[in-house]
Structure 1
Amino acid sequence: MRKHTIALLCLSSLSSFWLTAAELTAPIAVQQPYTVTSANGDRPDPYYWLRDDSRTSPTVLDYLQRENDYFAQYSAGYQALTDKLTDEIIGRIKQDDSSVPYNKGDYSYYTRFDTGKEYPIYLRKSLKDGTEQVMLDVNVLAAGKDFYQVANMRVSPDQNLLAYVDDTNGRRQYTLKIRDLRTGKDLPDQLTGLSSSIAWAKDSKTLYVVKNDPATLLSTQVLQHTLGNDVASARQVYEEKDNSFYMGIGNTGDNNYVVIYLGSTVSTEMRVQDASKPDSEFKVLAPRQRDFQYSASHINDRWVISTDWDAPNFRLMSVTDDKIGDRNNWQPLVKHDDKVFIEDFELFNNYLAINERSDGLRRLKVMPWAAPDKAFYVASDESAYVMAFETNVEPNTDYVRYVYTSLTTPASTYQLNMKTGEKQLLKQTEILGGFDKNNYKTERVWATATDGVKVPISLLYRKDFKRDGSAPLYQYAYGSYGNSSDPSFRSVALSLVDRGFVYAIAHIRGGQEMGRQWYEDGKLLHKINTFTDYIAVTDYLVANQYAAKDKVFGMGGSAGGLLMGAVANMAPEKYRGLVAHVPFVDVVTTMLDEGIPLTTNEFDEWGNPKQKAYYDYMLSYSPYDQVAKQNYPAMLVTTGLHDSQVQYFEPAKWVAKLRTHKTNNQPLMFKTNMEAGHGGKSGRFSRLAENAQEYAFILNLLGQTK
């Protein structure tokens, strides 16, 4: 067990936690002996005392507040710039805006934002008489709360009830509530400590939710609740014993089945129940096996399945309802292509629509069931773009909705006639503030990694940009979990680009931009490829005069924050500044502790440090462990006190260690949002203000005040 020798300090001795010699002297955390033990080696951790699982320790909270005060003092010097950026970024948003409605049952559903309001309003309109009804006004629900989020909602099959889950502190532990849409009042039924998943049975009185373990926050049980019954009597219909699996619940697109989704990094399983028979047993679609993944949806008495079975980039297969339970009954539908990764698909009575990824770009393919040889792609005129499905809830239609976007094109919702190939623009997000897409250019270039692999880069800059090696660069990446960083429109980025920046997205290994192997080559014992790819992108952009070598800024969040931490240790001289949001930086200690939320789910992503090979490899890049006596770039680090994904104490410890090791005077700023979690603040304007704060930090380093 770990040796815990931290002494309790009374508030009167708090002055020992920081230096106060000058107004802008940074807080210096006291060091207390502590040893993190493991079979593969013991490591001293003098800042372990910053971990307080209850989030109530006056000592810890006061220290975090001192860090916040220090940042407030520093940023006060350029507050006018922050305010200007905030107004500018918010000023591009059309405040009174609505989503494109979609029809389901007797209603048309849509979302609206009102001028000056932080949160959405969810509405529907009767297709019979045009009457509009407010289902949820999140502004009303959020009133008086520092944080509020409605994470999911589902209308009952009879359209009379709305089940929704909300969160009041950002820790992603949700409460289920049910609103009677006939009265506008919430029913007394409430279940707490849940994930965000919801499913309905066809009787419109049986609901399914996923219960979380209160300590690890792992999703462990599927509960079935009958409206009107005591919530304490909710029936457990499934329990997951393997703590490496995540779990969710939902309905198929045709609403004929309730589905339990189970997934680890390398394995998945689906259990299905006839939605008209809530008392029946869940049946396994195909038993889980290691290194076997699949997902499925249902239409016309059969399941269509996307799977990596003998297909690293996934292929599509199908099976009839009466033959589920054994993958050997699956029939081929769309074959595997080693150059094309199948991202997603939508099912229609007469068509199959596929969202593919090739050469790092997402595109749409439409295939008629009756004539597979007449499949076609939706064309684009840009070199870097994204196509992804919009809401498609009606299978008996010739139309598929999708969103098209690029770094120069705001999100545009299209409706494609799959029979004729004609497409109709339903809406393009309006960007205010004088935006003209013709003033900007997007480009796709390729850097060469240390092992010779070509890494794609998406660039955005103004058309009057001169490639002469003088421009500042803002370089973003993520590079983990197979999550791809698509080149979609980002209106906030215009505040940097209009000030002469080149905005770059580095599509580094660890994502799936170039297919499944791109992910495999950036995890476990190949993780360092992620970091060296990022540095190679920087080197390419500087060498090819897209950027000045002394004006390079990097940003990443969560696992992308780990990227920033690793890069800061490996190549600090290449960056003028780095921004790390909610960074996962204490890799080994976190992965050794199975009591921390989400740890056991991540062993196949990062490795299990109880095994020496993984312990040694993870230790070799863990940002907290590899902090050295050297110069570091200017850094802004953020976290949320209630973060359940990356606990606040990881960045807190990392910053504390950096303060005692860095050998230069570049600013190191640490800001804790005391009311939020992993995603930051919940309101739309509050989030944009956080973007402005980040950009002001960067621009101030360059001496820009406008």
Structure 2
Amino acid sequence: MRTTLLLATTILMTLSHNPASAADATPPDAEKRPHVVKAPHGAERKDEYYWLRDDKREDRAMLAYLEAENAYADQVLAPLKAVQDRLYDEIVGRIKQDDSSIPARERGWWYYARYETGKDYPIHARRKDGPGVDAVSIQRANEAGDFAGEEILLDVNVLAEGKDYYAVGAYEISQDNTVMAWADDTNGRRQYTFRFRNLATGEDYPEQIRGTSGDLVFADDNRTVFYIENDPETLLTKRVKRHVIGTDPKDDAVVYEEGDDSFYMGLDRTRDDKYIVIGVSSTVSDELRYAPAADPAAFTVLAARERDLEYSADHLGDRWVILTNADGAKNFKLVEAPTASASRGEWKDLVAHDESVFLETFELFDGFIALGERSDALERVRILREDGGSDYVKADEPAYSMGLSANTEPDTTKLRYTYTSLTTPATTYELDTATGERTLLKQQPVLGYDPSQYVTERVWATARDGEKIPVSLVYRKGFRKDGTAAMLQYAYGSYGMSMDPGFSVTTVSLLDRGMVYALAHIRGGQEMGRRWYDDGKLLKKINTFTDFIDVTDFLVQEGYAAPDRVAAFGGSAGGLLMGAVSNMAPDRYRVILSQVPFVDVVTTMLDPSIPLTTNEYDEWGNPEEKRFYDYMVTYSPYDNLKAQAYPAMFVGTGLWDSQVQYWEPAKYVARLRDLDTGNGPIVFRTNMEAGHGGKSGRFRRFREQAEMYAFMLDQLGVK
């Protein structure tokens, strides 16, 4: 204990005696403590900063080190305070503060969220359906400040009072519209507490259910709910339980327990509300159970899990409709099966597999099916009619994002979909599939923004193995491709998550300063179909990193950026990308921005007690097998740090992050400081009150982003 207190005091005293100027600031120097991380097959790695891990977040020396890094960051960034403030004011100044979402109708009520000027959190509300009441009329009333007839369900501003972090994960309404369940999180670890309210009286029921995933569904009796309980140590979704509102949660019965820690769990109701569904998914396998919502006594398996069999399903009318990769359909196909017999042998093709089109999602309606597809790294929405005919929803730009919106009821001819691009703010349309008439429901208001002053384009960079990598670009009109501009390049490249080009109010501030923004659709995502994902995971993960570097080289060669004015940005698994490219090609980047980065791959994947580990063996590989261990060691950022000149870096994390634990970036920065021979500053910012998503509230996160961008602009020499 004495050693711990002495270390904490030494770190803090070192900083307190430093001059306030950034030039004279001395970075913290974390203590090294010998530690060896052993693998089951005998491999060993030294980890001198392993001691920074504290699952309880209580170790005084560890906390002192994080606070010392924050104090150092304050000193380094102090001269940029005016720039931070300017960026923050610009970003917030583009936001319409008294805004509201598009109302969605469900069981006779219109539900929406709205914000009030100067407040950080939404107000969730509803209005009763009736003559003259629709989405447009409610939006107009909200814009006019006319809230007559509104029933406030949750004023999150009130709930968040006095809390450093607060988030409502979800809320659900009973089938008779009289009871509400909602889940909240008070530290950012995404471990939710459920509460219940009688909407007729406004009174809350006494019980609270802690340690849940935030998923909940009501049965048809309006008093029985099903929810998912997380494991208190690993935080993994483990059990589905049944609770009767008004009773003690300790008496809740277990309905289903998942024994395989590589599977996650979710709850839902089918499109027609006939069934309650338990879905379990791993990286390469799915299994769905269903029970009648009117009598959910027993759950039936739709299709038993098999390795490499993935599927999702929904029910409407007299059939199940299933999206699956069965029978070699790598890009997925759509099948149907009768309600009475939905076994694999009964599946009949509705939309056949297509090597050039990735089928991503679907929505069932009484007279048609809406499909979300991908082709040539662009999203499309297709209307599949009962007679087998189909139509595509049109787009107007070369690089854009399009997808299905909130379509809460199936008995309509109208389809809501969203459209956005790097220059077009998020827009929601309603398309009447019977007449072809399209109605603009809402476009995200962006104050002072003129889209005609910006240009977006799609280019293709050639990777070192010959693959063509799509890249979405945006810049301000008048930009000259002469090789002098500063550029920010962003990518993710993991889990098959596609990073589609969408509008950002923060990016505008960069474009207005002459910068180019590049979104690289590298392998590991799914922009180009399932093969794109498969070629960027497991023993092909290196493609993700080399794609990013090759995109940078291409854009510099084409004159979009100066070779010494390129910034790179990634978060979470994208932070792994940042760590890898800064090890592999540090000379290509002037500055690296890395948020909640997954940088200690081998140690984390060797520890099944850490959330996400077991579920991700099919993403990264299980390092308990030597072939995966040996491959991971070749790219894990923490393990590949070496004596070389690194770019300037801004690394951010959250103390309460449950997805990428804070100690990964903390260890990474400590070792990076030991080995970096360059002159660029390394800033490490820990949010001591938040988790993976940063601070709660709609404005506070912009403070964090303004700080990071101010650092980047300074390093790039952008005025």
Q: Fold-level match, TM-score > 0.5?
A: yes
1:459-608 matches, within 5 Å, as: 459-608=473-622
Query: Partner of 2:145 in structure 1?
Result: none
Query: Partner of 1:3 in structure 2?
Result: none
1:114-513 matches, within 5 Å, as: 114-128=116-130, 131-278=149-296, 280-309=297-326, 310-324=328-342, 326-369=343-386, 371-372=387-388, 374-432=389-447, 434-513=448-527
Q: Any stretches of 5+ residues in structure 2 without a counterpart?
A: 20-24, 134-148
- Of 626, 633, 639 in structure 2, the residue corresponding to residue 619 of structure 1 is 633
Deviation, structure 1 residue 184: 2.2
Deviation, structure 1 residue 189: 2.4
8 Å Cα contact 1:135-1:184 kept in structure 2: no
Separation (CA, whole Å) in 1 of partners of 2:4 and 2:548 = 45
Query: Partner of 2:685 in structure 1?
Result: 671
1:616-655 matches, within 5 Å, as: 616-655=630-669
Alignment-mate amino acid for residue 25 of structure 1: T
Please report the RMSD computed on the Cα atoms of aligned residues, expressed in angstroms.
Answer: 1.2
8 Å Cα contact 2:591-2:716 kept in structure 1: no
Separation (CA, whole Å) in 1 of partners of 2:227 and 2:318 = 26
Query: Partner of 1:4 in structure 2?
Result: none
Separation (CA, whole Å) in 2 of partners of 1:539 and 1:185 = 61
Separation (CA, whole Å) in 1 of partners of 2:42 and 2:335 = 44
Deviation, structure 1 residue 8: 6.7
Alignment-mate amino acid for residue 246 of structure 1: Y
8 Å Cα contact 1:16-1:30 kept in structure 2: no
Q: Any stretches of 5+ residues in structure 1 without a counterpart?
A: 1-6
Separation (CA, whole Å) in 2 of partners of 1:12 and 1:587 = 31
Deviation, structure 1 residue 457: 0.1
Alignment-mate amino acid for residue 27 of structure 1: P
- Of 65, 68, 71 in structure 2, the residue corresponding to residue 69 of structure 1 is 71
Alignment-mate amino acid for residue 442 of structure 2: K
SS at match of 1:195: strand
Deviation, structure 1 residue 58: 1.2
Separation (CA, whole Å) in 1 of partners of 2:470 and 2:242 = 46
TM-score of the pair, normalised by structure 2: 0.95
Deviation, structure 1 residue 301: 2.0
Alignment-mate amino acid for residue 261 of structure 2: N
8 Å Cα contact 2:369-2:384 kept in structure 1: yes
Separation (CA, whole Å) in 1 of partners of 2:376 and 2:116 = 40
Separation (CA, whole Å) in 2 of partners of 1:368 and 1:641 = 50
Matched, 1:42 2:8: no
Separation (CA, whole Å) in 1 of partners of 2:691 and 2:379 = 30
SS at match of 1:643: coil
SS at match of 2:482: coil
8 Å Cα contact 1:40-1:612 kept in structure 2: no
SS at match of 1:458: strand
SS at match of 1:135: strand
Alignment-mate amino acid for residue 219 of structure 2: A
Matched, 1:25 2:60: no
Q: For residues 311-366 of structure 1, what are the alpha-carbon distances to aligned partners after superposition, in whole Å with 9 as ceiling and x for unaligned?
A: 00100001111102x21211111101111111111100001110111111111100
- Of 7, 10, 30 in structure 1, the residue corresponding to residue 4 of structure 2 is 10
Separation (CA, whole Å) in 1 of partners of 2:594 and 2:267 = 33
Name the count of aligned residue pairs. Answer: 694
Separation (CA, whole Å) in 2 of partners of 1:659 and 1:377 = 53
8 Å Cα contact 2:486-2:718 kept in structure 1: no
Q: For residues 96-125 of structure 1, what are the alpha-carbon distances to aligned partners after superposition, in whole Å with 9 as ceiling and x for unaligned?
A: 001111111221111101101101111101
Separation (CA, whole Å) in 2 of partners of 1:662 and 1:588 = 22
Q: For residues 31-62 of structure 1, what are the alpha-carbon distances to aligned partners after superposition, in whole Å with 9 as ceiling and x for unaligned?
A: 01011011241111000010011101111111
- The 3 A distance-change label for structure 1 pair 205 and 574 is same
Quote the sequence identity (%): 54
Separation (CA, whole Å) in 2 of partners of 1:384 and 1:687 = 27
SS at match of 1:210: strand
Q: For residues 134-167 of structure 1, what are the alpha-carbon distances to aligned partners after superposition, in whole Å with 9 as ceiling and x for unaligned?
A: 0111111111100001111111100011111110
Deviation, structure 1 residue 224: 0.6
Deviation, structure 1 residue 247: 0.6
